[in-house]
Amino acid sequence: MVTTNEILNFALKHKEFSRKELLSDFESRNQIKSPGNLSEQLNRLLKAGQLTRIERGVYKLAKDTGESFSVVCSEEMRQINRQIKKQFPFVNFCLWHASALMPYMHHIPNLNLLFVDVEREVAESIFNLLNTSNKKRVFLLPSSTDFERYISTNEAIIIRPLVSESPLQLLEGINTPTIEKVLVDIVGDVEFSFLQGSEINYVYTSIFERHPVNKNKLLRYAARRGRKEEVEQLIKANKL
């Protein structure tokens, strides 16, 4: 069955394309059995504003659709990035804010959490550094109980372990997560316990429809985190 993400990936490679060209490409790779399914997915993308119809049977990506995911690098992130690099110039870490998920959510909670994902061996040292130089409360590797009791929707900086070979990208001199890392982290991390049932399905669908996702990279990282089965189930359940 053709998915909306596969259509968007095809659209990324072509300035304009016809339904006939799209159908021919999928048929050549044995990826489609029902042309009706293709029409259904095209209509879904049109209604969602991800594609624009130029003329009958001819389409193109809507403006800003298909752009790579990136977090907003706030001044707070820049300051923390400078602090860590000054004291620990060879440590691997990344920064991002939970609010990066807000554009993809249906029910939007108060997300005031800044994540510092860092090598476990130096996590306590980073905690000590930030805990003495920031007005926000800083938490080191919080458990689900810690999160429920002391953090929840409060404003906080959270020091978390960075899994080796995590998919990262450099933005404005700051290491930040790729969309593949975010998609895996929200499946099971205590900070995202509010993403359950229909909400996490909604987030997955929204992200896949708006950004290109490298499934191989996604599943490799999911395997490293012991979450490959859960991520595959989400992809399958939402026909992504």
pLDDT of residue 229: 97
Residues 61-110: tens digit of each pLDDT: 776 556 788 888 889 999 999 999 999 999 999 999 998 888 888 776 77
Distance (Å, rounded) from C-alpha 32 to C-alpha 127?
A: 51
214 lies in the same domain as 123: yes
- Asked whether residue 86 falls in the same domain as residue 130, the answer is yes
Residues 147 and 230 placed together within one structural domain of the fold: yes
pLDDT higher than 90, residue 187: yes
Alpha carbon of 133 to those of 109, 136, 150: distances in Å? 28, 9, 20
Q: Answer whether residue 149 is part of any domain.
A: yes
Report the 10 Å Cβ neighbour count for 60: 15
Domain boundary among 16, 34, 61: 61
* pLDDT tens figures, 195-208: 888 899 999 998 98
Contact 207, 8 (CB under 8 A): no
User: 215 and 157, same structural domain?
Assistant: yes
Query: Which letter does DSSP use for residue 113 in this model?
Result: E
Overall average pLDDT of the 109-127 stretch: 92
Residues 89 and 173 in one domain: yes
197 shares a domain with 111: yes
Q: Tell the residue number behind the tokens 């400078």, with chain if given.
A: 82
Which amino acid is residue 234, in one-letter code? L
Is 70 a member of any domain? no
**pTM, rounded to two decimals:** 0.74
Q: Average pLDDT over the chain, rounded to whole? A: 88
pLDDT at residue 2 in the model: 60
Q: Are 182 and 97 in contact (CB under 8 A)?
A: no
Residues pairing with 161 in the sheet:
118
154 in the same domain as 36: no
Q: Which of 11, 210, 239 is closest to 103 using CA atoms?
A: 210
Q: What is the mean pLDDT of residues 224-231?
A: 96
Number of domains the chain contains: 2
DSSP 150-205: IITTS-EEEEEEPPTT--EEEETTEEEE-HHHHHHHTTT-GGGTT--THHHHHHHH
pLDDT at 1: 53
For residues 104 and 149, membership in a common domain is answered with: yes
> Does residue 217 have a pLDDT over 70?
yes
Grouping H, G, I as helix, E, B as strand and the rest as coil, residue 59 is strand
Asked if 35 and 116 sit in the same domain, the reply is no
Question: Is position 93 within any domain?
Answer: yes
Cα–Cα dist 100/178, whole Å: 11
> Has residue 221 been placed in a domain?
yes
Mark whether 116 and 35 lie in a shared domain.
Answer: no
pLDDT digits (tens, 9 = 90+) for 6-20: 787 778 777 788 988
Structural domain contains residue 69:
no
Q: How many CB atoms lie within 10 A of CB 129?
A: 20
Average pLDDT over residues 138-143: 94
Domain extent, residue 48, equals 4-61
Q: Is the pLDDT of residue 192 over 80?
A: yes
Residues 35 and 148 in one domain: no
Amino acid at 8: L
